[in-house]
Amino acid sequence: MSKPPKPVSAQPTALIVGASSGVGAALARRLSLEGYALGLVARRIDRGPDLCDELTSAYYIRAFAYQHDVLNTVEVPALLDRITRDLGQIDLFIYCAGVLFPNDPTAYHADEDQFTLRVNLIGAAAWINPVAQYFQQQHTGHIVGIGSIAGDRGRRGMPAYTASKAGMHTYLEGMRNRLWRDGVTVTTIKLGQVETDMLKNADRRRSPITPERAADLIWQAIKQRKQTVYVPSWWRWIGLGIQYLPSFVFRRLNI
């Protein structure tokens, strides 16, 4: 027997940027299971409505799709206002948009590096900043940034990607330190490899997990209002080891 829909006022709400596929879409499905009403932002509008239809039919929640390229930072404030009106409020914000070019230590492409920084870091800041202000004024809210284990050190095959994720981690930490007095939680997810389209650009496979498994683990971190979480958790020990390796050792590793 299908469960009845929750009253609108009883539904928590979440906004996901980068929700059309991979981890973003898996998070949308996981949050729908928990009864969240959703705002789903994606560059590819062809995927958004279908995902909304799937979620509203399966979970009896409200879901809205919005087309947006995170490179277009000037439209963020107006779009955020629109989404807030549609949902009534925002309780949870997740920045999941990202790009990774092939891992290649012989490649020098300034345009690709700049594109990576704009999507992964500048785009994140363009969204997180106004969301943080909104949550601060509400004295509640939860910001989640999907970072990467790769952001723990600068890697020779993808310096722009590692820099963008390191910058995101630091930006989130700064916002966490700013907002904690206002009752706002900021969670940094340091994600390991996941079976998504981006994985084909990695130099090798290192025990990737499914998007659904990643979404489950991220949801656990959200529920527990964690600050920084490695997903899966065993990456934490690898991350700590990598962070403390001397540079003259790290630069010789084939990673």
Token pair of 31 as six digits:
């949050």
- Cβ-contact 136, 179 below 8 angstroms: yes
Rounded Cα gap, residues 106 and 234, in angstroms: 30
Q: Mean pLDDT for each consecutive 10-residue tract of the chain (255 residues)?
A: 47 95 96 97 84 92 96 98 97 97 92 98 98 98 97 92 98 98 98 87 82 98 97 89 84 78
Rounded Cα gap, residues 215 and 234, in angstroms: 16
pLDDT in tens, 62-75: 999 999 999 999 99
Single out the residue of 232, 176, 195, 249 nearest to residue 25, CA to CA. 195
**Domains detected in the chain:** 8-250 (3.40.50.720)
pTM score of the predicted model: 0.92
- Cβ-contact 245, 228 below 8 angstroms: no
Single out the residue of 186, 200, 247, 192 nearest to residue 217, CA to CA. 192
The CA-based dihedral angle spanning residues 158, 159, 165, 167, taken in that order and rounded to the nearest 10 degrees: -170
Token pair of 110 as six digits:
């300034």
- Cβ-contact 210, 194 below 8 angstroms: yes
